[in-house]
Every structure is written in C-alpha cells, then in structure tokens.
Amino acid sequence: MKQSSVLLKKLFAVLMIASFVCCGKKGITGINTQQCADKVKAVTDALNAYAASPIKANCEAYKSALQNYVNDAVGCGIGTGDLSSARQAIESLTCQ
C-alpha cells in the first residue's frame, strides 16, 4: 500500500504540473482550460478523501477520477509518454 501511495502521489504531481503548464491562463488552441481545471479538482478531491479515509470506496473513486483525467489528458496537452506512465500507475493501484 505504501509503495502504491508514493507512486500515485508522484503521478498526481506530474499530472498537476502538466495541467497547469499546458492549461495556463494563455491556454493552447483547442484546450478547454475550465474542463482541465475541473478534472484536476476532481482528482484532488478524490485524493484528499482517499488520504483521509483509505477505504475501498474512496480508493475506487480516486482511481476513477484519475482514469477520467487520463481519458481527457490529451485535451489538456499531456503527452503520450506521460499518459503511458499514468495508465500503468492507475492499473497498479489495487483497491482493497
């Protein structure tokens, strides 16, 4: 559990940084900055809930929020290499 937690925190940090860089105030053509911000908030809220209470339901909600973010990550300017790493991290998260 501890190793997965560290990995997920690193993944989340990478996703957050990528989102803020790619979905900044100036924006990039074709990127919906509000949608990117909403996805990041959903992941943050789910992560906080899971950290506060590491139960299966919160784990699954966190994993789902991450998956939703990854599904739209290209729309937030995240590259394919980062997406591959993110998908591997999501798959390695085991909710018990």
pLDDT tens digit sequence for 46-78: 989 998 999 999 999 999 998 988 887 767 777
Interval 17-38: pLDDT, tens: 555 444 444 444 566 778 888 8
How many angstroms separate the CA atoms of 21 and 17, rounded?
Answer: 6
pTM of this structure? 0.67
Residues 6+ apart with CB under 8 A from 20: 40
Q: What is the pLDDT of residue 24?
A: 47
